[in-house]
Chains A and B, each alone.
Chain A
Amino acid sequence: MPPLLRFRKLSPFYEDTVNPKAKQSATVEKPKRRRFRRCSCVDSCCWLIGYLCTAWWLLLFLYHSVPVPAMLQAPESPGTRLSRDGVKALHPVILVPGIVTGGLELWEGRPCAEGLFRKRLWGASFTEILRRPLCWLEHLSLDSETGLDPPGIRVRAVPGLVAADYFAPCYFAWAVLIENLAKIGYEGKNLHMASYDWRLSFHNTEVRDQSLSRLKSKIELMYATNGYNKVVVVPHSMGAIYFLHFLKWVETPLHDGGGGGGPGWCAKHIKAVVNIGPAFLGVPKAVSNLLSAEGKDIAYARSLAPGLLDSELLKLQTLEHLMRMSHSWDSIVSLLPKGGEAIWGDLDSYAEEGHNCIYSKRKSSQLSLSNLQRQNYSIKPESRVKEPAKYGRIISFGKRAAELPSSQLSMLNIEELSRVDCTSNVSTSCGEFWSEYNEMSRESIVKVAENTAYTATTVLDLLRFIAPKMMRRAEAHFSHGIADDLDDPKYGHYKYWSNPLETKLPDAPEMEMYCLYGVGIPTERSYIYKLATTSGKCKSSIPFRIDGSVDGDDICVKGGTRFADGDESVPVISAGFMCAKGWRGKTRFNPSGMETFVREYKHKPPGSLLESRGTESGAHVDIMGNVGLIEDVLRIAAGASGQEIGGDRIYSDVMRMSERISIKL
């Protein structure tokens, strides 16, 4: 506020000296003064703006010129510390970004997107959404039949490190990790971002952009130009299953649609795969996203201001548009829960049983309760005093359905329902909007929702029933089951390659698999749905909604969503199970017995606003700024093995959960 001060100082002086003159002028130059007076409203506005601007600039100037005080200075970054300890760049590092974080840019578009050539449509500032929302939606959607480019539109992944260093200005994704890697000597020649178009199915990234071939060639090149040191791959989120797909693809012969690297390619080129927040077994979030284009945030917003999002004022239909767009992206289907009931639990049992919401304050009471429950469960599961959260029911319609014992649920055979053609029912005002819901009869919608609950297996049937076209398209590329016999020749098909439960890891006994993820944040695990109220003249396009009004007695249920431990996006079971059990030792999924390590990072919210997103965060994206994780990645890249960085590091009960899951290994 320096200008204010200055102003006050000036005023007495002003009074003494200027006043007489002013009085004089007031008497002499009346007409002129009157004119001045009248425009004073506009003038004073200008004056105020000028005032504010000056003050702003002054502050900005001060901010830039004043050196940062010591207490505000960031603590020493892990890169600097390790660099001083003599840790040096050794293995080339490949970063594989996940869904959403990678930037997309326009290469060819419709007339409405003029002037956006090679500008980012996704990532960076997103200004185009506000300026031309419909145009933006049109360009980011894929073809609903093929899952590839619509005619006349080419949107491509941004290449290079800029693709995903910052998702939006100041919202880092990989930037902190990159900076720390650079401190120990990494640069363009030994650090590569394998960006890909994350909207496509994994196989299609190769068909359209040859992304997998490029990645292969890049790894081979970096291996050769860095003194034949194997590469360390660091995938994040969906990138973990993308790279799983790559591992299988690269060793498959060319004539089977693979990369032709031959067996032993991975053993030769890859030292370790350091998965950050991997969604190996999918995320329940993907179900709610596909079913009603919403997650807990939207459900929460709706419960705060009911009617706002649903109203058709201004014909916005935001959610409907988002849903149409995301239904055209195959990649979301890759994130549906995999392994079905064996992993995610059936109507009555589930792996997280006994999970207490550790983030709740009622820690002690919950703990004893859950212990009690576990004992009860082993004896007589039907007679529990209080039903715990039934995580296994990923979607339940109504709170009752979520809690009833399975015997009382109406068993619905979805295949029997007919998709009655009911175009006559659809009023024209809603018809312009594409959604497969329009083709469903109201009766079948009601029937689907009647007092039922869906597990990870049946929820796929539900999706197949609701959006048959999308699922038909996407299921040609992804599979969500568990293999009985991995040697079955059908598993040579690419659709199985990204499912860790239907592929073997490559034959590379010296390779290491890491699962690095955050814990300690409530993570969406299952949902309670309701039927959307039909509004006035036309049927709402999305008939199902998360029931935001359901708040459980315990902290695990809030706003129609049940939470389990995880990193806010990926539940522990999805991120940790494969490394904790599925691949541990020599199993059928890991025939060569490569070593696996689970490294968990306990979430600790930033202490103050100054820390912004924190250096000890465990959240899905913010974990990339976690100093513990960065240090681990740096040490691995500099040549340390899993044992040297400390083996497993576990805070959650992932081991116990994994124990409870019984699949053939």
Chain B
Amino acid sequence: MPLIHRKKPTEKPSSPPSEEVVVPDEDSQKKPHESSKSHHKKSNGGGKWSCIDSCCWFIGCVCVTWWFLLFLYNAMPASFPQYVTERITGPLPDPPGVKLKKEGLKAKHPVVFIPGIVTGGLELWEGKQCADGLFRKRLWGGTFGEVYKRPLCWVEHMSLDNVTGLDPAGIRVRAVSGLVAADYFAPGYFVWAVLIANLAHIGYEEKNMYMAAYDWRLSFQNTEVRDQTLSRMKSNIELMVSTNGGKKAVIVPHSMGVLYFLHFMKWVEAPAPMGGGGGPDWCAKYIKAVMNIGGPFLGVPKAVAGLFSAEAKDVAVARAIAPGFLDTDIFRLQTLQHVMRMTRTWDSTMSMLPKGGDTIWGGLDWSPEKGHTCCGKKQKSNETCGEAGENGVSKTKPVNYGRIISFGKEVAEAAPSEINNIDFRGAVKGQSIPNHTCRDVWTEYHDMGIAGIKAIAEYKVYTADEAIDLLHYVAPKMMARGSAHFSYGIADDLDDPKYQQPKYWSNPLETKLPNAPEMEIYSLYGVGIPTERAYVYKLNQSPDSCIPFQIFTSAHEEDEDSCLKAGVYNVDGDETVPVLSAGFMCAKAWRGKTRFNPSGIKTYIREYNHSPPANLLEGRGTQSGAHVDIMGNFALIEDIMRVAAGGNGSDIGHDQVHSGIFEWSERIDLKL
């Protein structure tokens, strides 16, 4: 705008020579500032703008423009953006809330949301000196402003105690409560907000909608020990059911919330000291349906990489683009190491380690997803994929997904007989400490010494079972803490009394579902996005780095369609959770009356094929299948709303499957 302003005066009739113009101009300059006047006198009407002046002028221009735009933005009618979007992309479909309201749907069953890991906000209740003035401010979620302002202080407050997995002394960080806990993760980045807004259209409000926020850093049983979160959830569900005329609740967990709610269902029916004492029919009495969104029932391979080397696909890609940058020790930042130290104190990350071992995730030479072809992102239609398969001359070599971690690309592809395993489990940990600077940062790697590191690299290939052993070896303290709260096996005999311990409750392969034949369990998840499934690693000999292992980012396949990208083997899923983990329980293990589902609770699988937003205006899209963005998927929202308004699985159309989940489930040989 200032440009236009500036042009206007020049259109006036030309004025007398400059010497005379100077005088009135000087007068006008008197007003703004005295100093400007003196300045002009000194410069004798000649040069006008010093460097600082032009800087100020520039800042002024920018400010004025900014205010003007801000004013326009505020004066703009609220429907304007929508109008623009509709002009460009054609009329938008009604959001599901409006559509279903027209159909006459009304709020019926109370709805409980259970947020996943990372998405829930955390706020400070008591802190060290450095966190002054942050009382009841969000440390996690919101703007993350504090991460930049005082990073070390932030890391210190977000970490838990190494030994107990609870609060460190003098620090209390607690979950934000209420719907605000996870409606938006960061400003403008919705998590539950779209779903909440749509539910509100058909009459939901605070009294029949409840966000069961919990401190997602803690192990599940510790949330009860420290915050009594499970008790609160029980009391709130009971209250909502009784104040809504006895209508049972619909539970909507997302991501890790799925495991948390599995834990809750066991806890609530367990007798009092350990459990909630709700009695054996509590779930049957209070729960109508559990609608799991993107549930990592059987864990995610990402968790292994996260714990092993504090990195995942994104970090690995960043490293491939700018090698050396993340690893260098300039400024003594050691970002990754700090992140690793922090995340390793969080017990909850261990709840997401792959469960079921080789039986589920595949061994050295087989995996349930065998034969899966990764279509490049560019190919949208499934046909090109299918053709490649039919011809039998698929250019891609079969991928050994079962090898979750392999050292070197050759090993990842070699036949099982060719791999020389030297058992690392007995290997003595060396005494030598490779790098002293790493002492600042707590990881357990410096206890391992060079010998231990070598032993690990020489073992070459790790399957799901061995990956757990590997973590036990690499981070014994952390895993000792974690295995007190979580278990990753498969139960042989579910009636064994040992399975009454809380550590088994969040593992669907070691617990029975509650006795509630009328309950329904849904598994809703996105498909069609490459999802991390296995990793190629290398030893990192760089002296600057404290983490001796790294994803081998240069492991590429020339082929566009390859599943191997930057050291990561991808498979179908929702970008975070592979289809197998999200779908297997509902597709096979709980289908019908099985030993995991003794009362024959009905299960449904609803997959949503990912289709990326057509243009920038759509933001994160209304048909996304990505792990978090799926919460804005209209089809998913509609399904949830129909169930909340009283529908059941057959009303919304039974299963809806796009991936090969049933085929893959068949390959898994599990006693049912």
- Residues of chain A with a CB closer than 8 A to B22's CB: 37
Contact present for B46 and A11 (CB under 8 Å): no
Question: Which of B224-232, B340-348, B492-500 forms contacts with chain A?
Answer: B224-232
In the complex, per-residue mask of A13-52: 1 if CB is within 8 Å of any chain B CB, else 0 = 0110011011101100010011111111111111111110
In the complex, per-residue mask of B183-195: 1 if CB is within 8 Å of any chain A CB, else 0 = 1000000000000
Contact present for B18 and A37 (CB under 8 Å): yes
Nearest B residue to A52, CB-CB: B60
Cα A209 to Cα B50 in complex, Å, equals: 65
Contact present for B9 and A50 (CB under 8 Å): no
Instruction: Indicate whether B448 reaches chain A with its CB closer than 8 angstroms.
Output: no
How far does the Cβ of B27 sit from chain A's closest Cβ, in whole Å?
A: 11
Instruction: Indicate whether A489 reaches chain B with its CB closer than 8 angstroms.
Output: no
- Residues of chain B with a CB closer than 8 A to A34's CB: 14-15, 18, 21
Interface size on A, residues (CB 8 A): 69
In the complex, per-residue mask of B316-356: 1 if CB is within 8 Å of any chain A CB, else 0 = 00000000000000000000000000000000000000000
Cα A525 to Cα B60 in complex, Å, equals: 54
Contact present for A14 and B35 (CB under 8 Å): no
How far does the Cβ of B563 sit from chain A's closest Cβ, in whole Å?
A: 42
Contact present for B43 and A15 (CB under 8 Å): yes
Contact present for A41 and B28 (CB under 8 Å): yes
Instruction: Indicate whether B386 reaches chain A with its CB closer than 8 angstroms.
Output: no
- Residues of chain A with a CB closer than 8 A to B29's CB: 40, 44
- Residues of chain B with a CB closer than 8 A to A25's CB: 46-47
Contact present for A41 and B9 (CB under 8 Å): yes
Contact present for B42 and A187 (CB under 8 Å): no
- Residues of chain B with a CB closer than 8 A to A115's CB: 78
How far does the Cβ of A231 sit from chain B's closest Cβ, in whole Å?
A: 14
How far does the Cβ of A55 sit from chain B's closest Cβ, in whole Å?
A: 10
Would A50 and B58 be within 8 Å (CB), given that A23-B44, A188-B177 are in contact? yes
Cα A647 to Cα B312 in complex, Å, equals: 63
Nearest B residue to A57, CB-CB: B59
Other-chain residue from B2, B46, B175, B178 in contact with A46 (beta carbon distance below 8 A): B2
Contact present for B228 and A189 (CB under 8 Å): yes
How far does the Cβ of B140 sit from chain A's closest Cβ, in whole Å?
A: 15
Contact present for B232 and A225 (CB under 8 Å): yes
- Residues of chain B with a CB closer than 8 A to A118's CB: 179, 183, 196-197, 200
- Residues of chain A with a CB closer than 8 A to B126's CB: 182-183
Contact present for B18 and A14 (CB under 8 Å): no
Question: Which of B235-243, B253-261, B597-605 forms contacts with chain A?
Answer: B235-243
Interface centre among A3, A39, A44, A53 (most CB of B within 10 A): A44
How far does the Cβ of B555 sit from chain A's closest Cβ, in whole Å?
A: 47
Instruction: Indicate whether A107 reaches chain B with its CB closer than 8 angstroms.
Output: yes
Cα A14 to Cα B47 in complex, Å, equals: 10
Instruction: Indicate whether B39 reaches chain A with its CB closer than 8 angstroms.
Output: yes
- Residues of chain B with a CB closer than 8 A to A46's CB: 2, 57-58, 60-61, 64
Would A117 and B197 be within 8 Å (CB), given that A19-B44, A34-B18 are in contact? yes
Instruction: Indicate whether B206 reaches chain A with its CB closer than 8 angstroms.
Output: yes
Other-chain residue from B39, B50, B60, B200 in contact with A51 (beta carbon distance below 8 A): B60
Nearest B residue to A51, CB-CB: B56
Would A43 and B79 be within 8 Å (CB), given that A11-B38, A154-B205 are in contact? no
Contact present for B174 and A187 (CB under 8 Å): yes
Which residues of A, 191-247, contact B by the 8 Å Cβ criterion?
Answer: 209-210, 213-214, 217-218, 220-221, 224-225
- Residues of chain A with a CB closer than 8 A to B44's CB: 19, 22-23
Instruction: Indicate whether B48 reaches chain A with its CB closer than 8 angstroms.
Output: yes
Other-chain residue from B57, B201, B235, B242 in contact with A43 (beta carbon distance below 8 A): B57
Would A8 and B177 be within 8 Å (CB), given that A38-B12, A209-B207 are in contact? no
Instruction: Indicate whether A385 reaches chain B with its CB closer than 8 angstroms.
Output: no
How far does the Cβ of A129 sit from chain B's closest Cβ, in whole Å?
A: 15
Nearest A residue to B224, CB-CB: A225
How far does the Cβ of A348 sit from chain B's closest Cβ, in whole Å?
A: 50
- Residues of chain B with a CB closer than 8 A to A108's CB: 200-201
- Residues of chain A with a CB closer than 8 A to B393's CB: none
Instruction: Indicate whether B144 reaches chain A with its CB closer than 8 angstroms.
Output: no
- Residues of chain B with a CB closer than 8 A to A6's CB: 52
Contact present for B35 and A8 (CB under 8 Å): yes
- Residues of chain A with a CB closer than 8 A to B28's CB: 40-41, 44
Instruction: Indicate whether A161 reaches chain B with its CB closer than 8 angstroms.
Output: yes
How far does the Cβ of B295 sit from chain A's closest Cβ, in whole Å?
A: 26
- Residues of chain A with a CB closer than 8 A to B239's CB: 213-214, 217
Cα A217 to Cα B240 in complex, Å, equals: 10
Instruction: Indicate whether A613 reaches chain B with its CB closer than 8 angstroms.
Output: no
Cα A184 to Cα B63 in complex, Å, equals: 46
Would A54 and B207 be within 8 Å (CB), given that A114-B78, A217-B235, A217-B238 are in contact? no
Contact present for B55 and A50 (CB under 8 Å): yes
- Residues of chain A with a CB closer than 8 A to B36's CB: 44, 47
Contact present for A21 and B47 (CB under 8 Å): yes
Contact present for A44 and B196 (CB under 8 Å): no
Cα A157 to Cα B18 in complex, Å, equals: 67
Interface centre among B32, B172, B242 (most CB of A within 10 A): B32
Instruction: Indicate whether A61 reaches chain B with its CB closer than 8 angstroms.
Output: no
Cα A21 to Cα B9 in complex, Å, equals: 26
In the complex, per-residue mask of B150-180: 1 if CB is within 8 Å of any chain A CB, else 0 = 0000000000000000000000101101111
How far does the Cβ of A41 sit from chain B's closest Cβ, in whole Å?
A: 6
Nearest B residue to A106, CB-CB: B200
Other-chain residue from A36, A54, A187 in contact with B48 (beta carbon distance below 8 A): A36
Contact present for B180 and A162 (CB under 8 Å): yes
Cα A51 to Cα B227 in complex, Å, equals: 52
Cα A44 to Cα B235 in complex, Å, equals: 65
Other-chain residue from A18, A41, A154, A217 in contact with B50 (beta carbon distance below 8 A): A18
Instruction: Indicate whether A492 reaches chain B with its CB closer than 8 angstroms.
Output: no
Instruction: Indicate whether A159 reaches chain B with its CB closer than 8 angstroms.
Output: yes
Q: What are the 7 A-B residue pairs with the smallest beta carbon separation, nearest first?
A: A22-B47, A50-B60, A46-B60, A50-B56, A50-B59, A22-B46, A49-B60
Q: Can you sample 22 A-B contacts with CB below 8 Å?
A: A10-B50, A11-B35, A14-B39, A22-B47, A39-B10, A40-B29, A41-B9, A43-B6, A46-B64, A47-B36, A47-B53, A48-B56, A49-B60, A107-B205, A118-B183, A159-B179, A162-B180, A188-B174, A189-B227, A217-B235, A217-B238, A225-B228
